[in-house]
Structure 1
Amino acid sequence: MVSCKSDKEIEQAAQQQADQDFSQIDLERVNRYPLFENCDEMEPTPDCFYRELHKLVALRLKDEVYDFKFASRDSIIASITVTATGQLKYDSLVNTSQNRDYKELDSMLREKLYPLCKIEPAILQDVPVSTTYLLPIKISPAPQAD
């Protein structure tokens, strides 16, 4: 049997097709966001993920942030990663107001947000992938003692 194309030409055509297919994949957007146990797998938005993540972080930080004596409402931004194996973990403090002790606040977040929990990871092209999210955390001042 004789082919119209040589092995090298077939290989080059296959590589060209693979490159074209790969270039059409949007690597910036996952097909499915990470899922907490009570989130609906068919929900196309990250709403449930963010809602559950906020609840989890708020529960962990509920009493701790008062030690920083926030005089007024404030917010910080934390980087949270969901690994390809589903481990939810705190990475770092991304932003805080100018007058906060960054190292002390980051240290407290590391302590209180470790370990978080395991959830279903994000999916991209049917493959579990690691994803990182910026999580704004609003902080209210401690209640005043009478």
Structure 2
Amino acid sequence: MAFMRKIVVLACICLFASCDWFTSKEDKTQELVHEEMQNINFNEVDRYPMFSDCDEMVSKPAQRICFETTLLMHFSRTLEDFDFVIDTEVKDTIYVDFMMDRNGSISVLGIQKNSNIDDQMPEFNGIITQSLKSMPKIEPALKRGIPVNAKFRIPIVLNSN
């Protein structure tokens, strides 16, 4: 009788321990995907967009610096081509919000500036938008090796003397 009781207890332990054996592979996969999704930081990319001048083998901060520097140099060259007629001295920072899609295309989401700049340089938004469209080819940002959409904000400092 004691032997039979031990077998029943052992069988119950095996039954409770084996519940995981009966879950489907789909359920296990869904659980793993859910856990992995909790670990992904969707606010950061693994690799910043790359211009041909930038080295993809450098650190992520260096990639960001190269991306931003190249972008700002492009804006600077574009703005130098225009002669703005300004009534008063301008010292201001403009913020350009743009989206780089997974295909490497750029679109302006918004330009934050004060009304004084709008009054003195009404064509500024068009120039910035056109400048972004004339950018050299850019490889999109990557997250886990997959091209992704990425939003950026670039400050442009205007200083007229």
Which runs of no fewer than 5 residues in structure 1 stay unpaired? none
Residues 85-104 of structure 1, C-alpha deviations (whole Å, 9 max, x = no match): 112343321x2124232793
Among residues 59, 73, 81, which one is paired with 2:99 in the alignment?
81
Cross-structure match for 1:36: 51
Q: d(CA) in 2 for partners of 1:83 and 1:69?
A: 38
State the structure with more CA Rg: 2
| TM-score w.r.t. length of structure 2 | 0.73
Contact 1:88 1:119 in 2 (8 A): no
- Structure 1 residues 19 and 68, CA gap change in structure 2 (3 angstroms): farther
Instruction: Give the partner amino acid of 1:55.
Output: M
- Structure 1 residues 19 and 39, CA gap change in structure 2 (3 angstroms): same
Among residues 88, 96, 100, which one is paired with 2:113 in the alignment?
96
Q: d(CA) in 2 for partners of 1:89 and 1:28?
A: 19
Q: Is 1:114 equivalent to 2:125 in the alignment?
A: no
Q: d(CA) in 2 for partners of 1:139 and 1:87?
A: 26
Bigger fraction of residues in helix: 2
Instruction: Give the partner amino acid of 2:150.
Output: T
Correspondence 1:40-55 to 2 at 5 A:
40-43=55-58, 44-45=60-61, 46-55=64-73
- Structure 1 residues 129 and 69, CA gap change in structure 2 (3 angstroms): farther
Contact 2:51 2:136 in 1 (8 A): no
What fraction of aligned residue pairs are identical, expressed as a percent?
Answer: 24
- Structure 1 residues 63 and 23, CA gap change in structure 2 (3 angstroms): same
Which runs of no fewer than 5 residues in structure 2 stay unpaired? 1-20
Q: d(CA) in 1 for partners of 2:134 and 2:81?
A: 17
RMSD over aligned Cα, in angstroms?
2.5
- Structure 1 residues 35 and 130, CA gap change in structure 2 (3 angstroms): same
Q: d(CA) in 2 for partners of 1:90 and 1:17?
A: 37
Q: d(CA) in 2 for partners of 1:130 and 1:5?
A: 40
| TM-score w.r.t. length of structure 1 | 0.79
- Structure 1 residues 119 and 25, CA gap change in structure 2 (3 angstroms): same
